[in-house]
Amino acid sequence: MKNHPNRLAQKIAFLEDPEKRGDLPPKQLFDLIPIQQSDNFLDLGAGTGYFTIPAAKMVDGTVYAVDIDCEMLEIIKTKAHDEKLTNIETIEGNFSPIPLPDHAVNIALASLVLHEVKPLNETLTEIHRVLKDGGHFVCVEIEKKDNSPDGPPRIHFSVMEQELLKAGFTIQDKLIPTTHIYIFIVQK
């Protein structure tokens, strides 16, 4: 379904707003995980390519940008073309199932998107499935505050931790870079 031009512009502005994403530069996040040049990378909920484009510059492997919004994927394609990047594959779809074969990627990233999926455990199981043994998954989310029942759905840090463990991940690191953002770095 196509967005109205004003709605699309608002969505792009929202997705690229530094305050929304915790002003976490891609390089700073990527420095926390062992990315190899030959890695395949999965960006779930890729949006406008905030992480997709920098990942594609770091690896020679394929960077899969998955999003349910085809207009966001067109933005990524345009950015990739402008940057002369040929290793990005855009995939329109959701996360359950993730439209990739088993053990397809070395690194998976879901930034500010898992609160949108139901049920969470199915998506985490899918992420585990597409990761290679020893692969890393980076989860960036906004902390749920008990006093915000009318806000968008969020996932408590402790709930996310338990769900990641139940999905079979080993937690490598837990970070809280701002008062409202948390990051889990986990390994298969």
What distance in Å separates the CA atoms of residue 11 and residue 165, rounded to the nearest whole number?
33
Question: Which contiguous run of DSSP H or E holds residue 118?
Answer: none
Is the pLDDT at 27 greater than 70? The verdict is: yes
Residue 62 token pair: 């394929």
Q: What residues pair up with 74 in beta bridges, in sequence order?
A: none
Q: How many angstroms separate the CA atoms of 34 and 39, rounded?
A: 10
Comparing CA positions, the residue from 142, 135, 79 lying closest to residue 111 is: 142
| 181 pLDDT more than 90 | no
Taking only the tens place, the pLDDT of each residue in 92-108 is 998 889 999 999 999 99
The single-letter DSSP state of residue 35 is -
Whether 59 has a pLDDT exceeding 80, the answer reads yes
Q: What is the mean pLDDT of residues 48-67?
A: 96
- What value, to the nearest 5°, has the Cα angle with vertex 102 and ends 97 and 103? 130
In the DSSP assignment, the letter for residue 166 is H
For residue 153, the cross-strand partners are none
CA dist 61 and 41 (Å) reads 7
Instruction: Please provide the average confidence, as pLDDT, over all residues in the chain.
Output: 88
- Structural domains of the chain in order of their starting residue, each with its CATH number: 5-187 (3.40.50.150)
Helices (H), 17-119: 26-30, 52-58, 70-82
Residue 60 has pLDDT above 80, yes or no: yes
pLDDT at 1: 44
Residue 87 near residue 114 (C-beta atoms within 8 A): no
Residue 176: pLDDT over 70:
yes
Of all residues in the chain, what percent carry a pLDDT higher than 70? 84
Q: Exposed e or buried b for every residue in 156-174, given b needs 16+ CB within 10 A?
A: ebeebbebbeebebeeeee
pLDDT at 46: 95
- For residue 9, the one-letter residue type is A
Q: What is the pLDDT of residue 7?
A: 63
Statement: residue 75 has pLDDT above 90: yes
Sign of the torsion formed by the C-alpha atoms of 68, 100, 90 and 174: positive
Residue 134 confidence (pLDDT) above 60: yes
pLDDT of res. 166:
97
Q: How far is CA 113 from CA 78, 81, 83, 95, in A?
A: 22, 25, 25, 10
